[in-house]
């Protein structure tokens, strides 16, 4: 969290997408959520809408985020009637990683939810400021040379 909050992309962002941590093997995002709200940022968290498709829905406080109902994967998800982000309006998306490298490549859980959402965000922005992404993981998840495929964002 200390490195992230000093990152210029994070500092300059007013609307951010933040993943809510899985029960195990992922970086805990609670400190990030608390910092984002204390800094006046609007926070949007993922909700799976249907197979292969997610949207980012607004969460108004860290307490709300931590008390959300859990999905079938045991990940907290915003309620379906929460305000939805326009993908083109997010400044930054923090994405989970199973593995990452120092070349800014990440390996997710393999379902492609974030790859598709980021691609939509960038396509919708067409010519406007491009949404930035930062992959977050534990030191133990750092690898050498993560393989990359055409659909990876």
Q: What is the pLDDT of residues 27-48, one digit of tens each?
A: 899 999 999 999 999 999 999 9
- The pLDDT value recorded for residue 130 is 74
| Mean residue pLDDT across the chain | 83
What are the residues whose beta carbons fall under 8 Å from the beta carbon of 121, sequence distance 6 or more? 87, 88, 90, 93, 131
Burial class (CB in 10 A: 0-12, 13-18, 19+), 95: buried
Q: Among candidates 146, 147, 114, 129, which has minimal Cα distance to 15?
A: 129
- The pLDDT value recorded for residue 106 is 54
- The pLDDT value recorded for residue 152 is 47
Percentage of the chain lying above the pLDDT 90 cut: 48
Is pLDDT of 6 > 90? yes
> Which of 22-26, 39-43, 61-65, 143-147 is the least confident region?
143-147
Confidence of residue 100 (pLDDT cuts 50, 70, 90): low
């Amino acid at each position: 969290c200390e490195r992230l909050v000093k990152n210029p992309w994070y500092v300059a962002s007013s609307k951010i997408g933040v993943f809510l941590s899985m029960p195990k093997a992922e970086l805990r995002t609670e400190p990030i959520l608390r910092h984002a709200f204390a800094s006046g940022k609007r926070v949007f968290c993922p909700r799976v809408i249907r197979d292969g498709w997610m949207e980012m829905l607004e969460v108004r406080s860290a307490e709300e985020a931590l008390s959300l109902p859990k999905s079938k994967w045991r990940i907290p998800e915003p309620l379906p009637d929460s305000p939805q982000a326009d993908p083109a309006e997010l400044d930054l998306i923090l994405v989970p990683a199973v593995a990452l490298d120092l070349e800014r490549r990440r390996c997710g859980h393999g379902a492609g939810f974030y790859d598709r959402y980021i691609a939509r965000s960038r396509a919708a922005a067409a010519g406007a400021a491009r949404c930035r992404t930062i992959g977050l993981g534990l030191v133990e998840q750092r690898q050498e040379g993560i393989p990359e495929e055409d659909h990876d964002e």
